[in-house]
Amino acid sequence: LRTDVRLVLGDRVLAEQRVLAEDQETVFDIAVPALRHAQDLDALLWSPESPRLVDATVVITDAEDGHEIDRVTSYLGLRDIGWEDGGFQLNHKPCFLRL
């Protein structure tokens, strides 16, 4: 089987990757080159103030004959979550939570 993944924000393709499945379960990472550039981060990352959603399409194809077996389209938010200096961080900025 072959898996193709495509991530798009608006009209900008953020990442495309093709993986051949050699086992029943295949796990892989997708590099998003735009996330490497600090000036692009605010335009890409999801936050409550800017809930940007990335469209994701995953297509599974028979690697031998090219027949499409399944396709799913959904959306996701790119973000960085952490704990630093005793507080919750969202996208490397302090985020205060109400309980």
Determine the distance from the C-alpha atom of residue 39 to the mean position of all C-alpha atoms in its chain, rounded to a whole number. Answer: 18
CATH number, domain 2-94: 2.60.40
Rounded (10°) CA dihedral 36, 44, 56, 65:
-30
With pLDDT > 70 as the criterion, what percentage of the chain qualifies?
Answer: 98
- The residue ranking higher by pLDDT, 18 or 38, is 18
The domains of the chain are located at: 2-94
Count, residues in the chain = 99
Report helix, strand or coil for 36: helix
Report helix, strand or coil for 42: helix
pLDDT tens for 50-97 read 999 999 999 999 999 999 999 999 999 999 899 988 889 998 889 887
Claim: this prediction has a pTM higher than 0.75? yes
